[in-house]
Structure 1
Amino acid sequence: MVIIGGAAIGAACAWFLTGELGAGARILVVERDPSFAHASTSHTNSCMRQQFSNPVNIRISQFARGYVRDFRAAMGGDPEVPGIAFDPLGYLYLAATEAGAAALRANNAVQRAEGAAAELLEPAALAARLPFLRTDDLRLASLGGPDEGYFDGATMIAWWRRMARARGVETLAAEAVGLALAGGRATGVRLSTGQTVAAGWVVNAAGPRAARVAAWAGFALPVEPRKRTTWVFTTPEPLGAKLPLTVDPSGVHVRQDGAGYMAGSGPAGADAAVEPDDFTEDPDLWQDHVWPILAARISAFARLRVTASWVGHYAWNRLDRNAVIGAVPGCPNLILANGFSGHGLQQAPAMGRGVAELIARGRFRSLDLSELGPARLLTGTPFAERNVI
C-alpha cells in the first residue's frame, strides 16, 4: 500500500492499517515535505467539537473524543505512550438573526439526540455566564459541553508515526507525480525521483493537493486550497473567565490559548482558491476586519498585542465543505480521504479507521461513513451539514 501524504490523515491511515492488516502488511508513506512546515496539519488550531448538524459528523467527533481520552489504551496500552492533553473549553456559537437562532435550535435537537451536550442560551443568560461578551445584538447562543475544546494533536500524530514505524511502516521523502494504471486500477505511484513504486492500494491523503492526485485517475475531485489566517495575542485586561471557542456571526472565531488568545478568519472578501504554495498574509486583514470584530464583541480586546500570526490552508471541498472518503469511481483501489475543509485533525482518528476497514474488510465496519463517499460528487448531491466554520 502507498499512502500519498504523511500529515494527520496519512499518519492515521498508516497506523490503523497496521492494526487491521497485521505484521505482514507492506505500507509506504510518500511525503513531499517531511518537515511538514506548510502542511494543513501544522497550521491547525487543534480543536474538537460535537456541535455539528449531521449525525455522522457528530459520531466522528465522539469517536475522536473517546480516542483522545483513552489514547494509551487505543495505542495498545504501552506505558511509554503519553496521555493527550485536552482543554474542555467548549465551542460557543452566536446567532444575531432569527434565521441563525432557528439553525442553532435545529442543530441542538440533532446534537442532543446523538448524546452531544450542548446548551442553548438566551442573550441574558449568556451575559450572566460570560459578562465580558457583548450580547445586545444576539438572538441566541449555543455552548458545548466538556467534550469540546482543544487538544494536543501533535503528540497524537507523532505517536501514530512512531508506533507505525515500529510495525514496519516505511516513509519516503519524495513527491508523488503520477499513477501507473492498468485495467482500471492503480498499479503504482510515480515519484519525483523518477522511480515508480508498485502498489496494490493507493490512499490519497494529499490535503490541499488532493485534486491533483485524483486527476491522475481521471477523477474530478472538487478540493482546493483556501487561505485561513490565525493570530495569537495577549491583552492587559483579564476577562475573568476562560473564553470558549467563540464563533461570531461574522465567522471570525476566537478562543483561549493558555494565558492568551487565538483568533482565526477567512478572507474579508472573496474566498478564492490559491496555489498550494501560497502562504502570504493579507497585511490589512487583521487591522481592517478581524480586530474590529473582536473588539466590538469583547471590549477588553480593544487593547491587545499580537505575538504571532500565520496562514494555513483548508483543503476545501467546493461541493459541501465535508470530507470525501471512499474508492474513486472507476479506480477501486485508489482510496480518497480528502476535503476536510478545516476538520481534518479532529476527524483523523475516524477517517484512519474507516480507510483501514475499507482496504482490509471491503466495507466500513465500526462507523458507516458511506454518506461521505465520492458518489455524491458525481451527482452533485451535497452531504447535509449546516454547521461549518
Structure 2
Amino acid sequence: MSENSYDIVIIGGGVIGSAIAYFLSRNTEQNLKIAVIEKDSSYQFGSTARSAGGVRLQFSTPENIRMSQFAVEFLRNITDHLGIEGEKVDVSYTEGGYLFLAQDHQIPILYNNHEVQKREGVPVALLDPEDLKTSYPWMNVSDLAGGTLGLEGEGWLDAYGLNQAFRKKAISQGVTYLKDEVLDLVKNGSKIEKATLKSGDSVLGSVFVNAAGARAAEIAKMAELDLAVRPRKRFIFSFSCREEVGPCPLTIDPSGLYFRPEGHQFITGRSPGPDEDPDCLDFDVNYDWFDNDIWPVLAHRVPAFEAIKMENAWAGHYAYTLLDQNAVLGPHPEVPNFIFANGFSGHGLQQSPAVGRAIAELILFQNYQTLDLSCFSFERLLTGKGVREINVV
C-alpha cells in the first residue's frame, strides 16, 4: 500500500471538483501538486451527468445572479478556457431562455425579482397574458397573470460534456485523478492530515476540499463535522409529442414543473413537496410520478401534450442544503484546511465556473479576489441566518 502527498486533495471529481482543480492548476507560479479522488471514473452516476443541464440568470440573490453571469461568459468562450492545443470544446450550450410563468398570487414575487435582475444587468422581459398568448400560441394562458423571459444567456448544455472538459483540461495542467473512494479522514487537532482510501492507499494533503456532491455530509462526518446537506432524489422524464410545439424555452409552470426541448423530444421534471422528499441515494425511478403528477400538469399547460409518449426516465441527486438551498462555500471555522464546496441544491452545474474560481482564490490567496461569495460561508449554518432565494414557485 502506498502513501502519496499532495498540496491539495479534492474529494469528488464531478463538475464542481473538476472546476476547482482546473482553476487551481491554472496557477503555475506556486507549482501545486493537486489530486482529485473520484470513485466513479465513468462519471455516469454522479449528480452532474444526470442533471437537466440548465443555466439561468433569473435569481433573486445578487450573488447567485453574478455566478451565473460568469458562467455565461465562460460558456460562450469555453474553447479559450478549456481547449487543449487549439482543439474546439463543444458542450452544446443552447441559449434557449428560461420562461417563468406566474398566477395572480405570484406576480409580486415575479416583479420584485425582476427589479433585482434589472439592477444586476440581466436582460429579462416582463410578459402579460396577451404577450404569452402571442409568443406561445401552443400554451394555455387562461389561468396565468404573467411571466418573465430571459433574453440572453439562459439555456442549457451537455452537463457530462462540461464535466469532462474541466477534467481533461485539469489533467493537461498537471492534476492527478485517482479512481478510488475515501473511507476516512485522519484529523490531528484542528487539521485534516490524511485521507485513507478503499484501495488501501492513503493520501496526505495540506488542504482538503469536500466536493463530494450528494455524499458531502458523509465526507464531513469523517472529519468529525456536521454538514446540514442531504441527498435528495429528482426524476427527469423524456417524452415525445405528436404535434409540433415551438419555439419553446425552458418553461417553469406556476406549479413548479418545468419542461424544455431536447432534440426532437422534451424533458420534464418537478420537485416533490417537503413531505415526499426523504434523504435518498438510490436511482430507482417512480414512473407513477409521471402519470399522476407530471402528465396532467403538462397537458393542462400545453394542450398538445395530452398526446405524448414517455420515452425515457432517470433519477439523479441534489445535494440539498437544509437551511436555505444555497451553496456552502469555504473553510470550516474550526478546521481551516477543510474547504466546503457543497449543497448547490440543483444549481451546481451553472455555478461551477464561478465556484471553481472562487474556491481556488480562497486556497491561493486566503480571500475572494473577483466575486465575493462570503455570504455562502459555513458560519451561516451555525447562526441559522440563511441566504434566502425567493422563488416564484
Please tell me the TM-score bracket, short chain as reference: over 0.9
Cα distance in structure 1, aligned partners of 2:326 and 2:12: 19
- Structure 2 Cα separation of the partners of residues 215 and 300 of structure 1: 49
- Asked if residue 172 in structure 1 is aligned to residue 205 in structure 2, the reply is no
- What are the Cα deviations for residues 32-52 of structure 1, in whole angstroms up to 9, with x where unaligned? 211122200010111100000
Judge conservation of contact 2:83–2:89 (CA < 8 Å) in 1.
no
**CA separation in 2, counterparts of 1:263 and 1:104?**
22
Q: Which structure 2 residues correspond to residues 136-215 of structure 1 after superposition, within 5 A?
A: 136-215=142-221
Which position in structure 2 is the counterpart of 1:33?
A: 40
- Alignment partners' CA distance in 1, 2:29 and 2:36: 17
Q: Which of 39-48 and 153-162 deviates more?
A: 153-162
Alignment of 1:47-126 (within 5 A): 47-75=54-82, 78-98=85-105, 100-126=106-132
Paired amino acid for 2:256: G
Aligned to 2:268: 263
Runs of 4+ in 1 over 3 A off after TM superposition: 75-78
Shift, 1:338, TM fit: 0.3
Amino acid at match of 1:254: F
What are the superposed Cα offsets for residues 127-185 of structure 1, whole Å, 9 maximum, x if unpaired? Answer: 11111111111122111112100123333322221121122211111111121111301
- Are 2:294 and 1:290 aligned? yes
Name the CA distance, whole Å, in 1 between partners of 2:81 and 2:44: 28
The unaligned stretches of length 5 or more in structure 1 are none
Secondary structure of 1:350's aligned partner: helix
Aligned residues of 1:20 and 1:356 also touching (Cα < 8 A)? no
- Alignment partner of 1:331: what SS? coil
Shift of 1:21: 4.9
Give the number of equivalent residue pairs: 386
Matched residue, 2:391: 387
Q: Does 1:274 align with 2:316?
A: no
Query: What is the letter of the counterpart of residue 270 of structure 1?
Result: D
Shift of 1:377: 0.4
Aligned to 1:14: 21
> Does the Cα contact within 8 Å between 2:39 and 2:180 map onto a contact in 1?
yes
Q: Which residues of structure 2 form unaligned runs of 5+?
A: 1-7
Residue 116 to residue 126, structure 1, CA distance change in 2 (3 Å):
same
Q: Secondary structure at the match of 2:126?
A: strand
Aligned partner of 2:321 among 317, 323, 342 = 317
Q: Secondary structure at the match of 2:58?
A: coil
Q: Percent of pairs identical after alignment? A: 39
TM-score by length of 1: 0.96
Deviations along 1:280-311, whole A, 9 cap, x unmatched? 11131011110000000000000011111101
1:346 paired with 2:350, answer: yes
Shift of 1:388: 7.9
State whether structure 2 residue 377 is matched by structure 1 residue 370.
no
Whole-Å separation in 2 of the counterparts to 1:94 and 1:315: 26
Letter of the aligned partner of 2:291 in structure 1?
A: Q
Amino acid at match of 1:338: N
Residues 209-251 of structure 1: CA deviation (Å, up to 9, x unaligned)? 0011112223221111111110111111112x22111111111
Cα deviations by residue, 1:61-112 (Å, 9 ceiling, x for unpaired): 00000000011222378411324432111111111132x1100000000001
Q: Secondary structure at the match of 2:314?
A: strand
Q: Report if the CA contact (8 A) 1:11-1:160 is conserved.
A: yes
Normalised to the residue count of structure 2, the TM-score between the two structures is 0.95
Q: Which residue number in structure 1 is paired with residue 4 of structure 2?
A: none
- Preserved CA contact (<8 Å) 2:26 2:173: no
Distance of 1:270 and 1:282 partners within structure 2: 16
CA distance in structure 2 between the partners assigned to 1:46 and 1:219 by the alignment: 31
**Alignment check: 8 A CA contact 2:22 2:170 kept:** yes
Work out whether residues 206 and 338 of structure 1, in 8 Å CA contact, stay in contact via their aligned partners in 2. Answer: yes
CA positional deviation for 1:316:
0.6
CA RMSD of the aligned region, Å? 1.6
Pick aligned residue for 1:334 from 320, 327, 338? 338
